[in-house]
Structures are given as C-alpha cells and as structure tokens.
Amino acid sequence: MAEQRSIFRLRKGFDTDAKCFGRLERLRWPGGVRCPRCGGRRVSKFEARGKTGKKRRLYTCLACRYQYTATAGTVFHDSHLPLPKWFRAVFAWGAARQRVSAAQLQRALRLASYETAWFLARRIRRALERGDPLVAELAALGRRRRRVRRRRLLAVLPRLNLRRRPVRPVTGRRRPAARRTPKARSR
C-alpha cells in the first residue's frame, strides 16, 4: 500500500539535516553507497567542518581517493539552504495543482529574499523537466497526499449531504449597486 504522508509528518520525518541526508542516501544509492567517479563500493564515511563551521558529511572512495557528499551532482548541490527546506519545497511543488510561484515558496518556507525562492523554484522546475529521479520521488510524496485527501473528501460528501445544498457566496456587507443614470442622447 502506498505510504500516506501529510505536511506535518513530512516536517517530523525530515526536520533535521541528518534525517534528510539519510533519506537522500537511500534514494540515491539503494544498493549501498558507491563512488560517482569509479563506481567503487569501498567507501569510508566521515564528518568534517567546512569553511563556515558547519558539519559536512563526506565520503571518500578508497580506490580512487575521490571525496564527495550525498548532494554532489544533484539539485541540492552547492546551495546554502539546509536540506529540510529543500525537501519541503519539493514536497510543496508536488502537492500543488498548478505551478508554484517563487513568492509562494518565499512565504511558505519563510525565506529572507525573493531571489533565493526564485533560484529554488528554478532548480526544482529544471530537475523535474529533466526527469531527475530524486526530485521526482520527493514530489511524489506531495502528489500522494493530494489524491488521498480528495478521495476522503468524496467519501464524506454523500454523508454530509452537501451536494444538494445551494452554494451561497461568503461575503461581508454588500454595497448597494450604483445607479446608472441614462445618458442624454444626442440627435
């Protein structure tokens, strides 16, 4: 049965970098970590401090001595945004019926600048157009959520008897309609 997730479960499941990196590793290398350069399976994993002092989860291939991370060569590579924000953005992209604008991403993810949100949206859009399997898998989580919610709603509607009730617009005070004065005809 398909795994059903909501935005709250996603936040709980991918709220830290460690959980996001774990999911990314499983999606990228389902059979175990491999070197992207030589394809070797003998890999050592370690953590180091980067230039900014943040933890970096690195891998070193023991055959060719190549160092890389789980984000290398993916959409998430070379970005200053933390992985949980990337995951939420891709999830929102998959859950949306139409395209997600950069302004919507900026508000939803509480990003400081529109340019960052635009960059994020552009990378996600290009990855989905190219058919990137990592981004497609994360976007599918959002699509599953939308389908399940719609099925539940359609199952509940007959019980509530909402289909027979007239739909009235929800409005506040109405303004009186402006009167039109007849224009004087020129002969």
Return the pLDDT at 182. Answer: 63
Is 95 part of any domain?
Answer: yes
Please compute the mean of the pLDDT values over residues 129-143 and round it to a whole number: 80
In the predicted model, is pLDDT for residue 81 greater than 80? Answer: yes
| 97-to-107, 123, 133 alpha-carbon distances in Å | 18, 19, 20
Query: Does residue 43 contact residue 59 with C-beta atoms inside 8 Å?
Result: yes
Is 65 part of any domain?
Answer: yes
Is 181 part of any domain?
Answer: no
Is 138 part of any domain?
Answer: yes
Please compute the mean of the pLDDT values over residues 100-119 and round it to a whole number: 90
Residue 36 C-alpha from the chain's centroid: 25
Return the pLDDT at 65. Answer: 92
Please compute the mean of the pLDDT values over residues 79-107 and round it to a whole number: 85
**Nearest CA to 150 among 103, 97, 187?**
97
Please compute the mean of the pLDDT values over residues 123-148 and round it to a whole number: 77
What residues form DSSP beta bridges with 43? Answer: 61
Is 113 part of any domain?
Answer: yes
Q: pLDDT grade, residue 80 (50/70/90)?
A: confident
Phi, psi of 88 (to 5 degrees): -65, -35
The residue type of 40 is G
Q: pLDDT grade, residue 50 (50/70/90)?
A: confident
DSSP 112: S
In the predicted model, is pLDDT for residue 162 greater than 70? Answer: no
Is 46 part of any domain?
Answer: yes
Query: Does residue 6 contact residue 92 with C-beta atoms inside 8 Å?
Result: no
Is 165 part of any domain?
Answer: no
Query: Does residue 125 contact residue 75 with C-beta atoms inside 8 Å?
Result: no
**Nearest CA to 5 among 147, 185, 141?**
141
More confident residue, 143 or 102: 102
Is 74 part of any domain?
Answer: yes
Return the pLDDT at 186. Answer: 62
Share of the chain above pLDDT 90, in %: 14
**H or E element that contains 105:** helix 102-109
Please compute the mean of the pLDDT values over residues 52-76 and round it to a whole number: 89
Number of domains in the chain: 1
In the predicted model, is pLDDT for residue 91 greater than 60? Answer: yes
Q: Which domain holds residue 124?
A: 7-159
Return the pLDDT at 143. Answer: 66
